[in-house]
Amino acid sequence: MTTNRQKKRRAILAFMQNRPGVLNKISMLIRRKMYNVETITACTTPQPGISRMTFTLYEDSDDKMAQVVRQIEKVTEVISARELDIDQSFWREVAIVKFEADSDRMEELFSLYRVEMLDHQNHEVFIVQLAGTSKLIDNFLAEVGSDKIIEVARSGFTALEK
């Protein structure tokens, strides 16, 4: 008997030397372990020559996650890598959403969600930005309705330990 349960979303934070090809090395390593990376975000740090990357993927096994982290740490350019505890860190993403709505509906959405208006086209097409948890963004998209959404761009997760 097989169960069809949802795997747990996990995040790995890695600090590495800011060199060409490092992201490719790490993503290929994760792919070889038969994981599908859900999101990757990367940025420089205040320390010159050092970048930070946050990878999210789905996995239930703590042992498999520990193995992936160990493998990432073996990459020459990687300074450190660790899994982030979801209860001890903040996970956020940004979404830019283009959708149709009348002005009354927009007022309602503005009162429910902290959105930033980026553009207003043809009286009923809006482009907004919102940042927060994936649940907040998912709820906003559900509230707008798939029949009214024209386009969505999501950044992927970034995370910071408490």
Instruction: Read off the CATH number of the domain in which 62 is found.
Output: 3.30.70.260
Does residue 2 form part of some domain?
A: no
Q: Tell me: do 104 and 148 sit in the same domain.
A: yes
Among 84, 100, 119, which residue terminates a domain?
84
Quick one: tokens of 31? 């792919």
Does residue 1 form part of some domain?
A: no
Among 84, 113, 131, which residue terminates a domain?
84
Q: Tell me: do 13 and 80 sit in the same domain.
A: yes
Instruction: Read off the CATH number of the domain in which 101 is found.
Output: 3.30.70.1150
Name the DSSP class of 46.
Answer: S
Among 58, 84, 110, which residue terminates a domain?
84
Which range of residues forms the domain containing residue 46? 9-84
pTM for the model stands at 0.78
Q: Tell me: do 80 and 14 sit in the same domain.
A: yes
Tell me what pLDDT residue 160 has. 86
Contact 37, 56 (CB under 8 A): yes
Does residue 52 form part of some domain?
A: yes
Q: Tell me: do 94 and 72 sit in the same domain.
A: no
Quick one: tokens of 28? 């290929």
Q: What is the pLDDT of residues 57-114, one digit of tens each?
A: 888 888 888 988 999 999 999 999 999 988 899 999 999 999 999 988 988 998 899 8
Q: Tell me: do 97 and 77 sit in the same domain.
A: no
| Cα 137–chain centre separation | 11
Q: Tell me: do 62 and 93 sit in the same domain.
A: no
Q: Tell me: do 103 and 61 sit in the same domain.
A: no
Which of these ranges, 32-46, 66-80, 116-130, 133-147, has the smallest mean pLDDT? Answer: 32-46
Q: Tell me: do 70 and 114 sit in the same domain.
A: no
